[in-house]
Structure 1
Amino acid sequence: MTVLASLLSRADNTPLDQRRRDPNTLLDQEGKAIADPADLSQKLALGGDPNTGYEKWAEYWRKVHGPRFIYAQDTEEGKIRHLARYDQVHRISAGPTHFTPPPYVAPTDANGELYDTVIGHIPEYRRPDWDGMAYLAFNTPDDLKAVLSQEKLRTKIVPEDQAIFRELAPVVATEHIILPSATQRDPILLVKIHRRQEGISREGFQEYWLRQHASLVLAKPAAHKYVKRYVQLHNIGPVSEGEPFWHPASSGIDGITIMAFANMNDVEDFLMTDDYSEIEKDERRIVDPKASEYWTGLNYNVVNRVYPEHATIR
């Protein structure tokens, strides 16, 4: 399978020195790009109450943008059939991230006692780079081209993307299914975005990751107890500016791990096992932890023509 995994952040008013943006995104209510998102006099296209901005964006992406994307497909020419799978992965702030992995601990004073008040002792919230991921799978690269070359996507969906997203970083990847899903309805995903260690080539990283590291994961009982699906996405996209699908943020990504779970507690329990500690230790042989990140998301399956799913021959 060829996968277009687009990492994305939502359109919001975060200042530019705190969060990146793409050119021609963050549109106002007249369809013009907002120069300074922190200038609250310029209203974002989604508009509404800023207190419910995240909820409105998540609802729109799932309930409006998803159906619009499908509606825009050319059904007469059958190009919709070239799309094998489309998932929306919405990051959940309460789930594990590389900033705040489990086990979670209560803030205490020097004597190990709880503070009398939380005022002044509330931990800083650290936001990952991305708010989610759009996961589009195709049987061949030609199928990807057939779907994304449609005129309606250019005229109907791209302008919408510019209005509701702040940044869209496409990763064109080869999908390696290490552990197939029995149901393909697994609701919780652990998404790990990898950048390789200095001195290792992308080819060397991907070879070790697929051959040695995947075998290590499969040998761990905790993986079979908790993980319902395990996929490696190997970046095969462009590395030079100006090429199709090139993006400054995604061009440096070497791969993405996707692990699916039945519920959030299973993710947390998995991350606290000795088996996972060994998995992470091996991962750091090839991954730069300071340049990588992970977070947890809620998965919505919008389109799926892949059933049953089978492991990829390694």
Structure 2
Amino acid sequence: MFKPRYNPAMRPDRFRLAALFHPQKDVTYEQFSRYWLREHGKLFMSLDIVKKNLTKYEQLHLNPQLNTQLSTAMNSAQMPFWGMAIFEAESYDKIIEVLSHPDYIRVVFPDEAKILDRSKSQVIAGEFATIHGT
């Protein structure tokens, strides 16, 4: 019987950073999701440094009902985050160059404050391996 070889490896050509966003206290989920997708995403993508350095930018908009069901089914705490941004680049340095660029600090950083609370948000970074799929 043929058994496929399982040989996972980290991708040396890609690096990801994920930011889990906690909403501002006076923002509804609908306001958060709509603004982040339609306004903030467009603003972020308008920066030349973003287009130059990132190979991918994705937004995950959490579904409150599904997350309630999931936390119940998994007997786990419900996450306080309403969104996750995933930044992908060829290196960690390229992502940091975006996040520390004067245009990002001047334009994007203040726009985030309209919908999210940075003090309650979290960021993780690392290499990744694709175990299944492309």
TM-score range, shorter chain: 0.7 to 0.9
Whole-angstrom distance in 2 between the partners of 1:226 and 1:207: 26
1:213 aligned residue (40, 47, 59)? 40
> What amino acid sits opposite 1:188 in the alignment?
F
| Match of residue 194 from structure 1 | 21
Whole-angstrom distance in 1 between the partners of 2:97 and 2:38: 26
Whole-angstrom distance in 1 between the partners of 2:20 and 2:96: 18
Alignment of 1:84-233 (within 5 A): 187-233=14-60
Whole-angstrom distance in 2 between the partners of 1:203 and 1:301: 32
Q: CA deviation at 1:245?
A: 4.8
Would the alpha carbon gap of residues 219 and 246 (structure 1) be closer, same or farther in structure 2, given more than 3 Å must change?
farther
2:111 aligned residue (261, 275, 282)? 282
Deviating above 6 A after TM superposition, structure 1's stretches of 4 or more consecutive aligned residues are none
Would the alpha carbon gap of residues 198 and 226 (structure 1) be closer, same or farther in structure 2, given more than 3 Å must change?
same
Contact 1:186 1:299 in 2 (8 A): no
Whole-angstrom distance in 2 between the partners of 1:233 and 1:239: 16
Q: CA deviation at 1:185?
A: 8.0
Q: CA deviation at 1:198?
A: 0.2
Gaps of 5+ in 2: 1-5
Q: CA deviation at 1:240?
A: 6.5
Considering fraction of residues, name the structure with more helix: 2
1:302 aligned residue (107, 131, 134)? 131
Whole-angstrom distance in 2 between the partners of 1:242 and 1:230: 27
> What amino acid sits opposite 1:273 in the alignment?
H
Would the alpha carbon gap of residues 207 and 185 (structure 1) be closer, same or farther in structure 2, given more than 3 Å must change?
farther
Would the alpha carbon gap of residues 276 and 186 (structure 1) be closer, same or farther in structure 2, given more than 3 Å must change?
farther
Whole-angstrom distance in 2 between the partners of 1:279 and 1:303: 34
Q: 1:100-130 CA deviation, whole Å, 9 max, x = no partner?
A: xxxxxxxxxxxxxxxxxxxxxxxxxxxxxxx
Q: CA deviation at 1:280?
A: 2.0
> What amino acid sits opposite 1:235 in the alignment?
L
Whole-angstrom distance in 2 between the partners of 1:272 and 1:221: 13
Whole-angstrom distance in 2 between the partners of 1:202 and 1:243: 20
Contact 1:238 1:246 in 2 (8 A): no
Corresponding pairs, count: 123
Contact 1:240 1:246 in 2 (8 A): no
Bigger-Rg structure (1/2): 1
- Report SS of the residue matched to 1:302: coil
Q: 1:25-65 CA deviation, whole Å, 9 max, x = no partner?
A: xxxxxxxxxxxxxxxxxxxxxxxxxxxxxxxxxxxxxxxxx
Q: CA deviation at 1:242?
A: 6.4
User: RMSD of aligned C-alpha atoms?
Assistant: 2.4
Whole-angstrom distance in 2 between the partners of 1:229 and 1:209: 17
Contact 2:71 2:77 in 1 (8 A): no
Whole-angstrom distance in 2 between the partners of 1:215 and 1:233: 15
> What amino acid sits opposite 2:108 in the alignment?
I
2:84 aligned residue (229, 234, 256)? 256
- Report SS of the residue matched to 1:281: helix
